[in-house]
Amino acid sequence: MKKKGGFRRGTRSKLRKGFRQKGKVSITRFFQEFKEGERVLLKAEPSVHGGMYFPRFHGRSGTIQGKKGRCYEVLIKDIKKDKVITIHPVHLRRL
């Protein structure tokens, strides 16, 4: 049986901005840069769909492994496995 819905299915509250944060994304957040080994928090920017990670990883923290185009490769721990996810910098915050 084929799954109904897509990537953002069941994320009404998880991928939603507070009413004071609505509006355009600041350019500084969009173009922020990170160094390798830096700790980051995965906090999705709902208005930018590109470079977003799977919603299960929302709120997790990880370390920057390297850069891939405009995005960053972030190492996170998912239960017992280490996973590398490619994420756009607009979805990352410094820890």
For 27-76, what is each residue's pLDDT tens digit?
999 999 999 999 999 999 999 999 999 999 999 999 999 999 999 999 99
In whole angstroms, give the CA distance from residue 71 to residue 18: 25
Q: What pLDDT is attached to residue 4?
A: 86
Q: What pLDDT is attached to residue 2?
A: 86
> Between these two residues, 29 and 1, which has the higher pLDDT value?
29
Domains of the chain: 37-94 (2.30.30.70)
